[in-house]
Amino acid sequence: MQIPHGGIAFFDSGIGGLTVLSACEKYFDDGVFYYYGDNKHAPYGNLSPKKIRRYVFRAFKTFQRLRVRAAVLACNTATAVCVEELRKKYDFPIIGAEPAVCTAASKGGKILVLATRATCESERFQTLCKRAQKLFPEADICIRSCEKLAGAIERNLYKNTFDYTAYLPDEYADAVVLGCTHYIYIVEQIKAFYGCPVYHGNEGIARRLFAVTDKKTDKNHKEKPCDEKSRDGRPPKAVFRKNLGRLTTFCKRQVKRQKNVNKRLRLKGQKSLKNDKTSTLFFLGNTRENNEKVYKQMFVNNE
């Protein structure tokens, strides 16, 4: 058995893209998914555009070998820096991650957009905010760089009492937009700190992925209604539907069989999770074990 080709790939600088994966997977009954996390070089927000491009293109070479059906660039910083270059180079659909600035701005008032430094400085992000400001002149869009927040989340994710407010700008806002998928892990703390609605773009990414995937060749699609809770900035729930059963892990009675499978995987070091039907998630990249651990604890065990 070799790692199956033709699945849907997700890339992020670390664990943030798992929140995007969880939002997207609910649109599919089953299928093959790949998650490539580059935690070794995270966070991307303080890196130069040159380095970001190098790391992202390295991951997409892997996606090309897997002949992916579509790829999600589940990193706001990477999207802002190089999504257009990726689309010119590769012939499979690439969905980028963009903050829900327009959705928040349509409500009016002071809109606080929190993002990494690289995202804030990018031309693509600046254009998005200017367009939102022009469309909704009653909104006051304020961009704030949170240079150390993504890194703090990577390091302290399992510390339930960790206070992230020291990394947040202390000012009034009528609404907050999360411009980094890492920030979604602490959405409740952000909502409590600012006392206002919080928006992110994960549901929009999920709908876009469903729309660009060829329904004629994929029998696994199942369109789902929009999740209003997710639109309001609440964190996504478990990745796999409850009626599909919980994902199995590498328990003792499976170790021998799984080792034999792993030897035949085309890409070195691949690990996979399966449910009791046909959905399979392969973790790629230099810190796949860490991302698998976060995935199971945050999106499987908590369902």
Q: What's the pLDDT tens digit per position in 11-33?
A: 999 999 999 999 998 888 788 99
pLDDT tens across 228-274, in order? 333 333 334 433 333 223 333 333 333 333 334 334 344 444 556 65
pLDDT, position 301: 72
Task: For 67-94, give one letter per residue: b (16+ CB within 10 A) or e.
Answer: ebbbbbbbbbbbbbbbbeebeeebebbb
Tens of pLDDT, residues 102-160: 999 999 999 999 999 999 999 999 999 999 999 999 999 999 999 999 999 999 999 98
* Residues belonging to the active site: 75, 180
Phi-psi sector, 31: left (phi>0), alpha (psi -120 to 50), beta: left
Residue 1 lies in a domain: no
Domain end marker among 165, 200, 235? 200
Give the end of a domain, one of 165, 185, 200: 200
Model pLDDT, residue 257: 37
**220-226: average pLDDT:** 41
Count: domains in the chain: 2
Candidates 67, 78, 1; CA nearest to 34 is 67
Q: Which domain holds residue 237?
A: 8-98+203-300
**pLDDT score of 220 more than 70:** no
Q: Are residues 285 and 239 in the same domain?
A: yes
Q: Based on the fold, state whether residues 123 and 190 are members of the same structural domain.
A: yes
pLDDT value at position 270? 55
Report the distance separating Cα 132 and Cα 198, nearest Å.
17
- Give residue 303's pLDDT band: very low, low, confident or very high (50, 70, 90): low
- Tell me: the pLDDT tens digits for 132-141? 999 999 999 9
In this structure, are 233 and 289 located in the same domain?
yes
pLDDT at 272: 62
Where among 200, 217, 248 does a domain terminate?
Answer: 200
0.95 surpassed by pTM? no
Q: Does any domain span residue 181?
A: yes
